[in-house]
């Protein structure tokens, strides 16, 4: 399996150079000009294009059983969508039901993940606690290449991790050398506000953001950071969506704490006016948690990315179609939470980040792949264009245009939160494990072609920069 990417400009998180990239059997074998290559090498012409590490989306939920239904993109369709958007690796979540053994849940997800068309890996959620959970975390680390554990501070009476669980689990992560991650929203406050809104007869999607105001996230972000700080553990905040949470991260970093932040492509560009749509279906299609926010929070997220308070971009890809959203027709708390974005993330980041002068192309690479690879200990296997790295590569045409639309997406969902957005700068070819996986609108892979990626434990002092 030999492939030569010829004539492009290589953009990494550090530098931009003009060179060809020679890949053999899924790895980058050589980088340079006038390389000696075997006669049977497939040539991919990248003249006038950029050659960048394939995207890593560190936060997706394919076929997640959630709120009485199952997310509509399964691992086969969701990862095809990822490839169509230049993403070659997803990190999804094993979410055990309370009392379900972690290892059992892990095997269930691993089985589902085996249909992936791009590479996939798993965080595992800690949704309950006892001695077996403590033990199973070590088994997951030692035998299954899991180096990060997720904690939902919201979703009371379902998967919420209370403070006692956070303390036990963060301590265990520290002991093992794994990274604890949190969905930071105060679940007690969300629950309380939801009941109050329903009592007042406010039952539509417009109530969703009212039940989860920014301070609910700010409080939980500060609490998680302070618990981790007290224990001396690192902490990674998923889908940071508010100025309050960015400030909390910034403050902790200034005080020497190891804190990582992730933001979503959707939160960077969509605001909370979507919940006022007079069309119930459209408003409900935007119900996700944390919700979309007033514009000033988007500005804070962009500044967070620019100042390295936030290091990664993700999507929380969790697709639900109109008939699933309709489960909450009379009660907004029953609308399945989730939106899609794995296909659009890199294009949105390029157009609204690089084209708008907010990010350099090298910073774009940092926030779409390299930083996630570093934080979750995949670097330089992934997130790099370097000899010996995996040949997970996206070829990007900075001049080509595309209008994002539900009509042209791979994702199995009947709505796009990015509908009608015109993008300049799009992926034209995605190479995954040294093979052309998507090219000019065509998927070349099959379900099962993606590889399961194990992630070794961290060095205790690892930092993304």
Instruction: Please state, in angstroms and rounded to a whole number, the distance separating the CA atoms of residues 134 and 288.
Output: 31
Is residue 316 involved in binding Zn ion (CB under 5 A)? yes
Tell me which stretch binds Zn ion (CB under 5 A): 102-110, 139-147, 181-189, 249-257.
181-189
Taking Cα atoms as reference points, which of 338, 318, 336 lies closest to residue 327? Answer: 336
Is residue 123 involved in binding Zn ion (CB under 5 A)? no
Q: Which residue has the tokens 């080509």?
A: 400
Output the CA–CA distances (angstroms, integers) from residue 319 to 180, 282, 412, 417, in the order listed. Answer: 25, 14, 7, 11
Instruction: Please state, in angstroms and rounded to a whole number, the distance separating the CA atoms of residues 44 and 440.
Output: 12
Closer residue to ligand DUC, CB minimum distance, 10 or 288: 288
Closer residue to Zn ion, CB minimum distance, 183 or 412: 183
Is residue 123 involved in binding ligand DUC (CB under 6 A)? no
Instruction: Please state, in angstroms and rounded to a whole number, the distance separating the CA atoms of residues 79 and 345.
Output: 13
The answer to whether the beta carbons of residues 88 and 56 sit under 8 Å apart is yes
Q: Give min distance, CB of 318 to ligand DUC, in A.
A: 4
Instruction: Please state, in angstroms and rounded to a whole number, the distance separating the CA atoms of residues 250 and 298.
Output: 16
- Choose the one of ligand DUC, Zn ion, none that binds residue 338, judging by a C-beta under 5 to 8 angstroms depending on kind: ligand DUC
Element (H, E) at 6: strand 2-6
Instruction: Please state, in angstroms and rounded to a whole number, the distance separating the CA atoms of residues 395 and 16.
Output: 14
Closer residue to Zn ion, CB minimum distance, 133 or 160: 160
Query: What residues numbered 180-209 form the site for ligand DUC, per CB under 6 A?
Result: 183
Query: What residues numbered 285-344 form the site for ligand DUC, per CB under 6 A?
Result: 288-289, 316, 318, 337-338
Closer residue to Zn ion, CB minimum distance, 49 or 183: 183
Tell me which stretch binds Zn ion (CB under 5 A): 32-40, 180-188, 198-206, 383-391.
180-188
Tell me which stretch binds Zn ion (CB under 5 A): 135-143, 264-272, 309-317, 382-390.
309-317
Q: Which residues contact 63 (CB under 8 A, 6 or more apart)?
A: 70, 71, 73, 74, 75, 78, 112
Closer residue to Zn ion, CB minimum distance, 5 or 95: 95
Closer residue to Zn ion, CB minimum distance, 318 or 453: 318
Q: Give min distance, CB of 142 to Zn ion, in A.
A: 26
Query: What residues numbered 55-74 form the site for ligand DUC, per CB under 6 A?
Result: 61, 66
Q: Give min distance, CB of 117 to ligand DUC, in A.
A: 22
Can you point out the beta strands (E) in 276-414?
312-314, 393-403
Taking Cα atoms as reference points, which of 137, 113, 139, 115 lies closest to residue 124? Answer: 137
Closer residue to ligand DUC, CB minimum distance, 55 or 338: 338
Q: Which residues contact 65 (CB under 8 A, 6 or more apart)?
A: none
Is residue 183 involved in binding Zn ion (CB under 5 A)? yes
Binding site residues, Zn ion, CB under 5 A: 183, 316
Binding site residues, ligand DUC, CB under 6 A: 61, 66, 183, 288-289, 316, 318, 337-338
């Amino acid at each position: 399996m030999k492939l030569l990417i010829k004539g492009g400009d290589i953009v990494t998180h550090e530098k931009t150079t003009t060179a060809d990239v020679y890949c053999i059997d899924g790895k980058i074998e050589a980088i340079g000009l006038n390389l000696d290559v075997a006669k049977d090498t497939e040539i991919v012409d990248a003249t006038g294009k950029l050659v960048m590490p394939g995207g890593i989306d560190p936060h997706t939920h394919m076929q997640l059983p959630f709120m009485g239904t199952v997310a509509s993109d399964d691992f086969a369709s969701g990862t095809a969508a990822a490839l169509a958007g230049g993403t070659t690796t997803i990190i999804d979540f094993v979410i055990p039901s309370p009392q379900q053994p972690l290892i059992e849940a892990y095997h269930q997800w691993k089985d589902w993940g085996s249909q992936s068309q791009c590479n996939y890996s798993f965080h595992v959620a800690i949704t309950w606690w006892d001695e077996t959970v403590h033990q199973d975390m070590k088994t997951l680390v030692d035998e299954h290449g899991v180096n990060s554990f997720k904690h939902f501070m919201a979703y009371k009476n379902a998967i919420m991790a209370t403070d006692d669980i956070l303390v036990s689990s963060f301590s265990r992560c520290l002991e093992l050398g794994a990274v604890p991650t949190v969905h930071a929203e105060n679940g007690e406050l969300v629950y309380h506000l939801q009941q109050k809104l329903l009592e007042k007869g406010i039952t539509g999607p417009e109530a969703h953001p009212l039940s989860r105001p920014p301070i609910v996230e700010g409080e939980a972000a500060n609490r998680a950071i302070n618990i981790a700080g007290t224990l001396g553990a690192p902490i990674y905040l998923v889908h940071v969506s508010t100025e309050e949470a960015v400030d909390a991260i910034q403050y902790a970093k200034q005080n020497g704490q190891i804190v990582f932040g992730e933001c979503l492509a959707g939160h960077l560009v969509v605001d909370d006016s979507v919940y006022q749509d007079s069309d119930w279906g459209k408003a409900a299609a935007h119900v996700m948690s944390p919700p979309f926010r007033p514009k000033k929070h988007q500005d804070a997220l962009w500044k967070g990315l620019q100042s390295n308070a936030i290091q990664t971009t993700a999507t929380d890809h969790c697709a639900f179609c109109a008939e699933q959203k309709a489960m909450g027709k009379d009660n907004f708390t029953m609308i399945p939470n989730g939106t899609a974005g794995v296909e659009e993330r890199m294009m949105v980041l390029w157009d609204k980040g690089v084209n708008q002068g907010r990010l350099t192309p090298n910073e774009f690479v940092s926030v779409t792949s390299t930083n996630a690879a570093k934080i979750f200990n995949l670097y330089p296997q992934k997130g790099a264009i370097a000899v010996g790295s995996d040949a997970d590569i996206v070829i990007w045409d900075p001049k080509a245009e595309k209008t994002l639309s539900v009509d042209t997406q791979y994702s199995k969902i009947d709505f796009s939160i990015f509908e009608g957005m015109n993008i300049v700068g799009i992926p034209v070819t995605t190479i995954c494990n040294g093979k052309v996986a998507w090219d000019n609108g065509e998927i070349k892979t099959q379900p099962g072609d993606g590889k399961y990626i194990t992630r070794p434990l961290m060095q205790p002092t690892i930092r993304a920069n």
